[in-house]
Structure 1
Amino acid sequence: MVFALARAFAEVFFDAHASDEQVALFLDDADAVVDDFDPPPSAWDVRQVQTDELGVAIGLTINDREYVLPETEQEPEVPVALSTWREWHREND
């Protein structure tokens, strides 16, 4: 499941014919969120979306669930569910 989700990420950020090397760049991202889907879907639908969230570099939907990729000066950063992101910020306020 992780590789299939990583491929879906690569298809969004590169193209539909992403190489295995390009897919490999997203293995950590996929591994960070794949367990959020239980049972796992038969196919992955990843889309980049606009976001106005402060501190967020990229907004995503993964099978209709909202995720964000936080801005960071450290690499790598992995996607986080938007609801979790907002909860973290409520706790820090």
Structure 2
Amino acid sequence: MNPLDTLIRQHVVPVMKAAGFAKRGRIFRRAAPNGDHAFLHIDADAVDPEKFVFEVSFWMVPLPCWEFAYDLGDDSGGGRPVS
């Protein structure tokens, strides 16, 4: 297994799941009761093949931006990008 995926499974998943985040790949997402969304993304960075480097990105998407970017009217509840 990839060392980053092992690190995520052992150290990140338990904390993020306990905090109410859902996991998809290396992205964790949580929707607040008011509709705002929080995301945490962990990704490998191929800086040096001799070293294991990764980056963590965290961002917030307020409800008005979420509604602008996604069509929330579909039955899946997951939204899809608006074209």
* TM-score, normalised with respect to structure 2: 0.32
* TM-score, normalised with respect to structure 1: 0.30
- The structure in which a higher percent of residues are strand is 2
Which structure would you say has the larger RCO, counting Cα contacts within 8 Å and 6 or more residues apart? 1
Higher CA-based Rg: 2
- The structure in which a higher percent of residues are helix is 1
